[in-house]
Amino acid sequence: MRKLTAGDKLVLATHNPGKYRENADLLAPYGLEVLSAGDLGLPEPEETGSTFEENALLKARAACSATGLAAIADDSGIAVPALNGQPGIHTARWAGPERDFMVAMERVHSELGGSGDRRGIFVCNLSVVWPDGETASFEGRLEGELVWPPRGDRGFGFDPMFQPKGFDITFAEMDPARKHAMSHRALAFAQLSEALLDGR
């Protein structure tokens, strides 16, 4: 499998500022020139895949095709076992057209009702596509409890509702550096780093 090396230019295929910031921070130590699909004005492809990996590859391929550069895409969401894995790949859609995650969190809380199983699993798939069509995918998962009401004002998405296993604070209450070190995105990135960045 080929490597990404210092000086390489690549596109982070996201229009989500929170995801861009987290992924750019993770890539920062490697000397890569990281561009954002949002900043480049690339259109957002329709996410028609049925898995996190399919959607990540779809987004990475679109950015790679539009720019001629290697592209990394992140598809992530929260899977709730008591809701048969929903919202899963539809996590952003549950937030509605305005991407209001308070709406999404309220829906999850409402649909859980009196369920004693309030587990939530954050899933992140990071996929890389090169201009010649080569691809690589890596997936991280982190389990926690879905608390109510939401707590904290850091992070984004479901962070105020997600209390990682073994902790008594939510991601949105946690110091960002601590969250970044243990998140589902960090777990996926650790695999990507080992495979593509020489594990530095």
Catalytically active residues, by annotation: 75
Residue position matching structure tokens 């490697």: 30
Answer for the pair 125, 188: CB distance below 8 angstroms, yes or no.
yes
Task: State whether residue 198 is helix, strand or coil.
Answer: coil
Counting other chains too, the contacts that 88-92 makes at CB distance below 8 Å and 24 or more residues apart are 88/52, 88/123, 89/47, 89/49, 89/50, 89/51, 89/52, 89/55, 91/157, 91/158
